[in-house]
Amino acid sequence: MKHALIFDMDGVLVDSMHLHAAAWKMAFLEEGIAISQDSIYRLEGANDRGIIDNILHHQGIFGSFDSFSSIAARKQTFFDIRNVKPFPGITHCLELLSKDYLLAVVSGSDRNAVDGILDRHFSVHFNAVVSGDDVVKGKPNPDPYLKALEYLGTDPENCIVFENAPYGVEAAKKAGIYCIGIPTYVDPQLLKMADKVLRNHISLMKYLHLLLQRGPEDPFPVVFS
């Protein structure tokens, strides 16, 4: 059975969370709800339902996603995928990895954003793609990663997850998958549930190239320091 590499999208494959955060801030403000971009960074990985429910709760506002779903729709109009850029080297690296590994993306973003970004920036074939629209309970619940395992037809012990958000790391570990954390936008301590926390995207690229050098027949996951 092939091993699988599962990537969060925003903050791991592409540098986009500042764009998501700005779009959410504008969408909430239209409803008279003022939030900071940092509040979205802390919720990174959650789907639209999770973000809206969490913000409302912490603002002390009575309501739920069902009554404020228009915020998610407005956020989509403010988020422009044309401003999203992949992290340096990741596109070519995925093309090389796809020869030996199953590849998947598990994102909290809506399906339109996920498909738009992947189609625009990545020619590699992903064997499974799970968006925030594909599950009711998004990260930090394990459901998105469990769905990815189902799509891939593989077991947790045959996978590595690459995550940059506390909610994402928690979701991966609840699904029983080895998890590598990359502190793109948050303090590394917030990713302490991960099995290994890398320093940055330079370390991530070194890790992925180590996987390429060792090949899928070697012990998995690779321990890298």
Q: What structural domains does the chain harbor?
A: 4-15+85-214 (3.40.50.1000), 17-81 (1.10.150.240)
pLDDT of residue 221: 64
Query: What mean pLDDT comes out for the span 149-159?
Result: 95
* Secondary structure of residue 207 in the 3-state scheme: helix
pTM score, two decimals?
Answer: 0.90
Helix axes 17-30, 65-78, angle to 10 degrees: 130
pLDDT of residue 31: 93
Q: How many CA atoms lie within 13 A of 222 on its CB side?
A: 20
CB 22 within 8 A of CB 78: yes
More confident residue, 47 or 147: 147
36 burial type by CB count under 10 A (0-12 exposed, 13-18 middle, 19+ buried): exposed
CB 172 within 8 A of CB 193: no
Query: Nearest 5°: phi and psi at 152?
Result: -75, -20
Is the pLDDT at 195 greater than 80? The verdict is yes
* pLDDT, tens digit, 9 for 90 and up, residues 84-124: 999 999 999 999 999 999 999 999 999 999 999 999 999 99
Q: Which amino acid makes up residue 137?
A: K
CB atoms within 10 A of CB 72: 19
pLDDT of residue 225: 44
Is the pLDDT at 193 greater than 50? The verdict is yes
% of the chain exceeding 70 in pLDDT:
95
* pLDDT, tens digit, 9 for 90 and up, residues 74-83: 999 999 999 9
* pLDDT, tens digit, 9 for 90 and up, residues 2-45: 899 999 999 999 999 999 999 999 999 999 999 998 889 888 88
Is the pLDDT at 129 greater than 60? The verdict is yes
The one-character DSSP state at 180 is: E
Furthest-apart CA atoms within the chain: distance in Å: 55
28 burial type by CB count under 10 A (0-12 exposed, 13-18 middle, 19+ buried): buried
